[in-house]
Amino acid sequence: MIVCKKEALRYLGYNKQNIDNNTKYLLDECIEELTGLINKKSVYKIFNIEWENEAIHLEDTILHMESKDIANHLAKSDKCALMAASLGLEVDMKIAFYARTNLSKSLILDACASSAIETYCDQVEETIAMEASDKGYNITSRFSPGYGDLDIGLQKPISQILETYPKMGLTVSENSIMMPRKSVTAIIGWQRGKPSTKINKCKLCNNINCLYRKADNNE
Amino acid sequence: MNKTLDFNEFIILDGAMGTMLQAHGMKAGDLPETYNILQAKIIETIHREYIEAGANIITTNTFGANCYKYRDSNFKLEDIIGEGVQIARRAAGYNLVALNIGPLGQLMEPYGNLSFNDAYEAFKEQVVIGTKAGADLILIETMSDTYEAKAAILAAKENSSLPVICTMTFQENGRSLTGTDPFTMVNILQNLGLDAIGINCSLGPNEMMPLIPKIVDYSKIPIIVQANAGLPKIVDGETFYDVSPLEFANYVEEMADLGVTVFGGCCGTTPKHISAIKDALEAKAPHKVKVKPITAASSSTRTEILGNEVKIIGERINPTGKKLLQAALRKNDMDYLLKEAIVQKDKGAHILDVNVGLPEINEEELMVQAIKEIQGVVNLPLQIDSVVPQVIEAGARVCNGRPIINSVNGEAKIMESIFPIAKKYGCLVIGLTLDENGIPKTAKERLNIAKHIVDTAKTYGIPKEDIIIDCLVLTASAQQKEVKETIKAVELVKKELGVATTLGVSNVSFGLPSRGILNRTFLATALGAGLDAPILNPSEEDMISTVAAFNLLWNHDKDSKSYIASYSNLTKETSPKEEIGTKDLKKAIIDGRKKESSQLVKELLQTMTGLEIVDNYLIPALDIVGENYEKGQIFLPQLIQSAEAVKKSFEVIKENMILENKDEAPIEKGKIVLATVKGDIHDIGKNIVKVLLENYGYEVLDLGRDVPITKVVDTVKKEDISLVGLSALMTTTVKNMELTIEALRKECPDCKVMVGGAVLTQSYADMIGADFYARDARDSVNIANKLLLED
């Protein structure tokens, strides 16, 4: 199942309220509908990391990253994977359709899709982990432009390097918004030795009042 | 002197450029076109290799040379494209140079934020530079979106006199990334004045084979295929393609036998592939295919063919005699219009007529807006209905598909103004059988006008299959004698001219009781006489069932499948998607039951005024819901369902006021403008704020998402607005929020601004100069109440 109900509910601000039958029904309906809308596509590529003082450069690419957080994240890595994943345009179309006709459904479908893209990224990450393991590496967790101090503007060069538009229809706008909306780009470090612990993305974010901030393993 | 472009012969294009550049060590993510300046020799060498391999046309290294990809670079497009053409020119000798134009790499409206006009301007820049630099033709390639392709083709046709050819790219499921199938591509694009059309990239020749028949059967222009050297395979992180030149050439032979005449390669192909194509075609002659003429309208993802199964043209989007639609159009309320579009589709319409003509509005602007909105939510082909040529042209231009124009008639003046538009934008045209002297009485005379229309169209290069004749229905109450002349005329037109036909059926019963009986009887008779596409109201079950029965009886509905699906269990009630409650409006709202709420409001309206319902039921219920939400007893989807129930209730009350001409005090408390700022497309939050504000009686002017600063300012000025709500979800777009506020301060100093969105905080809001920070949707209601009610 690509939608994790618990996650979808978290995006909807759920906090142990009693869910009435209509809402339950809507949620199930959205999950089913979403399954038919998803046209998932992904690409990834592995690169050697070149350190230039504090900054990171990926060999034979145009990607140059100046960020403490990504430097920490990749501290033990000598290679990394760049990945991009997307659920495709039909999901956006349907969410927009319901925004005009049935706002509750639009909202719920959007939350389900947010959960689905995460699940899908986990699957892509799994594939990358296997490839890494074949070569004697383990991997770090995913780290995306916009986390911590990593410039969200890096989505554009990553998209260019992975040729995400021709390969999967993924575009990045002038304001670094990825379209189709339910899309992710991320960096995954390849390192020798012990696997690193999972990061809590929320911990890297400054918006401490955020509705979606994960309460568990926080702080 | 260059060779001439002769589409009667096979034409060989070149193969991949990107693949070759990577082999020359281009860095991942580099802009390949910069090589035109930095490594011109390499580009020239690649071109020469393709010429030597046998290409008749080489394509310039300018695929991505557009203002979007080069915005942040230090290069000028003039240099990149100019040099690109020069290098190709040097290598080409007597062979031809095609200016290569690829997609802009941005997603088009309505799902992305590239507008049709902006796309057009970007392509225009490329076309102008490339044409000036000396290209021989223009190749628009690898398009995924028919809308973007249309913008590019128009830019090429309007700014250059060079031949234009175009390819789109399809996935293994046979659809482009935006959902277009090859047949629909042909129907939309070939009529825009292209010299050749086809498919390229994404797939290897084997996967392309199944897509070719539909293109060959319907394309009136030469067909291009540029396949990849197979599907990409990844080994050790490197992508490669493994269809050998010989294997590739075998497919080329098969495709040539089907009728393809222009070949080349895409990703993974090399000069060796091109050389193999040349060898394969040596002994062959182009295979001429007899194309089936069809009358077909398209949206970007759906094509409806007239002439077999009856197609229904929905008539509801036309303000004539419709008070609610008139009121909605005057208020620019697109939601109402969309509701009409969606209902008609659900009831079985195949094509939607769009008429927004009202005396006191800007019809051209509204037509453009209506078409853009409708094609964003409903995938039916559209019929642009207006008496003003400029309105028709504006509509035909922004329509993503192949629309029908409604209409011309036998008057020379009208045909002179409309046919050039139809030709340029490749539209179908409805021809009404009337002229300067009005509607002729007899069928024979109407046939003569129809013939005159078809003949005149031909002189504009519009074939008869692009004309749909409307023999005009007269009302039985006024001209009883002539009613059957229409039926006879349909028969004659079908027999003598063989063109598709339409009729606005329900006119027949005007002024008589039980109109449904007359309408359906007339419809059945007209269908028997050869009516292909009745214009009617799909919500009238009599009409829809008549069409369904006719399709069955005329053997269009094979094995009665559709009929049985629709009518076998009529008694079974459509599944109630809502649990039914206690008939208490307050409770229905609190539980978020939309249908029941509006039903109960209708009942209450028998005994009390709208305002009483608002005060005694809606507001108290909302207060309870709001309180429950704030206490954490319900969560967001539940709050929104209640809000939607209230919204529906309001709609019923407002519609009742319009229909009954009630002179009650308006139930709106004030107008608020909402917009998701320029550059941002996240609008769920804004939509939630909108519905809640409406619930509390505010009229919301929703400007949508990615809203230009000027549009916010202009609306605030024009409507004399005192509160604007702006939303932005991204750190990158908060800047535009700040700029919007700045512009508002300057132009409309009295207007207050509230802001909200995931990345905002009170201090951030203060920093960008907002008056209020709305933490959530409920908060924005409090702000509005405080500001607008305490005056």
Per-residue pLDDT, averaged over B249-277, amounts to 97
In B, which residues are within 8 Å of A21 by CB distance? 579
Residues 678-737 of B with CB under 8 A from A: 679-684, 687-688, 691, 730-733, 736
Average pLDDT over residues B579-601: 87
Query: Which of A17, A96, A158 faces B632 most closely, judged by CB atoms?
Result: A17
Q: Which residues of B touch A101 (CB under 8 A)?
A: 338-339, 342, 377
Tell me which residue in B202, B578, B635 faces A17 most closely, judged by beta carbons: B635
| Confidence label for B575 from pLDDT (cuts 50, 70 and 90) | very low
Percent of chain B with pLDDT over 90: 87
Which of B16-25, B390-399, B749-758 shows the lowest per-residue confidence on average (mean pLDDT)? B16-25
The mean pLDDT of B533-554, rounded to a whole number, is: 96
Task: Quickly state the pLDDT bin for B1 (edges 50, 70, 90).
Answer: very low
Of B106, B633, B736, the CB nearest to A171: B106
For the B11-282 domain, the top CATH level (class) is alpha beta
* A104 min Cα distance to partner chain B (Å): 6
Asked whether the beta carbons of residue A100 and residue B759 sit closer than 8 angstroms, the reply is: no
Two structure tokens written together for A1: 């199942």
From B31, which residue of chain A is nearest by alpha-carbon distance? A160
Q: Give B136's contacts (C-beta < 8 A, 6+ positions apart).
A: B2, B5, B57, B96, B97, B98, B162, B163
CA dihedral B756, B758, B764, B766 (to 10 degrees): 10
- Residue B233 burial class via C-beta count within 10 angstroms: exposed 0-12, middle 13-18, buried 19 and up: exposed
Residue A89 pLDDT greater than 50, yes or no: yes
Of A26, A47, A100, Cβ closest to residue B637: A26
Report yes or no: B536 and B317 within 8 Å, Cβ to Cβ: no
Nearest residue to A118 via CA among A201, A32, A20: A201
pLDDT reading at B681 higher than 80: yes
- pLDDT value, residue A65: 96
Distance spanning both ends of chain A, measured CA to CA = 31
Q: Do residue A173 and residue B733 have CB atoms under 8 angstroms apart?
A: no
Do the Cβ atoms of B681 and A181 come closer than 8 Å? yes
pLDDT tens readout for residues A120-175? 999 999 999 999 999 999 999 999 999 999 999 999 999 999 999 999 999 999 89
Q: With an 8 Å Cβ cutoff, is B759 touching chain A? A: yes
Determine the CATH number of domain B585-655.
1.10.1240.10
In angstroms, the separation between the Cα of residue B103 and the nearest Cα of chain A is 9
Residue B142 contacts A, CB cutoff 8 Å: yes
Does the structure show a pLDDT above 80 at B577? Answer: no
Q: Where are the domains of chain A?
A: 5-204
pLDDT for A219? 35
Closest residue of chain A to B634, computed from CA coordinates = A17
pLDDT value of position B571: 53
pLDDT of B257 higher than 60? yes
Nearest CA in chain A to B702: A100
Whole-number Å distance between alpha carbons of B458 and B453 = 9
Q: For chain A, say whether B93 makes contact (Cβ under 8 Å).
A: no
| Residue B499 neighbours by CB under 8 Å, 6+ apart | B295, B450, B454, B464, B465, B467, B468, B469, B493
Which of B644, B599, B461, B266 shows the shortest CA–CA distance to A100? Answer: B644
Instruction: Give residue B568's pLDDT.
Output: 86
Q: What is the pLDDT of residues B298-340, one digit of tens each?
A: 999 999 999 999 999 999 999 999 999 999 999 888 999 999 9
* Contacts with A92 from chain B: Cβ below 8 Å: 111
Residues 328-347 of B with CB under 8 A from A: 335, 338-339, 342
C-beta atoms of A46 and B113 within 8 A: no
Residue pairs between chains A and B whose CB atoms are closer than 8 Å: 160
Chain B residue nearest residue A96, CA to CA: B377
Q: How many residues are recorded in chain A?
A: 219
State pLDDT tens for residues B409-431. 999 999 999 999 999 999 999 99
Q: Residue A217: what pLDDT? A: 47
| B643 interface with A at CB cutoff 8 Å | yes
Tell me, what amino acid is at B641?
A: Q
**Do the Cβ atoms of B112 and A22 come within 8 Å?**
no
Question: CA torsion B100→B101→B105→B111, rounded to 10°?
Answer: -150
Closest chain A C-alpha to B5 CA, distance in angstroms: 29
* Residue that is written with structure tokens 């003569």 in the block: B448
Is it the case that residue B453 has pLDDT exceeding 70? yes
Q: Residue B781: enclosing H or E segment and its boundaries?
A: helix B777-784
Q: How far apart are CA B521 and CA B534, in angstroms?
A: 13
Assigned fold of B670-789 = Rossmann fold (3.40.50)
**Better pLDDT: B204 or B333:** B204
> DSSP for A50-79?
EEETTEEEETTBS-EE--HHHHHHTTTEEE
Task: Quickly state the pLDDT bin for B664 (edges 50, 70, 90).
Answer: low
Q: What's residue B218's pLDDT? A: 95
Hey, is the C-beta of B641 within 8 angstroms of any chain A C-beta?
yes
| Residue boundaries of the structural domains of chain B | 11-282, 585-655, 670-789
Q: What is the pLDDT of residues A109-134, one digit of tens each?
A: 999 999 999 999 999 999 999 999 99
pTM listed for this prediction: 0.94
Would the ipTM clear 0.95, i.e. be above it? no
Mean pLDDT confidence for B149-163: 98
Percent of chain B with pLDDT over 70: 97
Say which CATH topology domain A5-204 has: NADH Oxidase (3.40.109)
The confidence score (pLDDT) of residue B661 equals 78
State the average pLDDT over residues A76-98. 95
Calculate how close chain B gets to A43, using CA atoms only, in Å: 10
Residue A184 binned pLDDT confidence (cut-offs 50, 70, 90): very high
Query: Cβ–Cβ of B592/A60 closer than 8 Å?
Result: no
Greater confidence, A201 or B601? B601
Query: pLDDT for B366-397, tens place per residue?
Result: 999 999 999 999 999 999 999 999 999 999 99
* Helices B619-630 & B777-784 angle (0-180, nearest 10): 130
Q: Which of B684, B351, B278 is nearest to B534 (CA)?
A: B351
Residue B111 — very low, low, confident or very high, per pLDDT cuts 50/70/90? confident
Q: What is the pLDDT of residues B761-790, one digit of tens each?
A: 999 999 999 999 999 898 999 999 999 887
| d(CA A22, nearest CA chain B) in Å | 6
Amino acid, single-letter form, for residue B606: Q
Distance CA A171, CA B144 (A): 12
Average confidence (pLDDT) over B207-228: 96
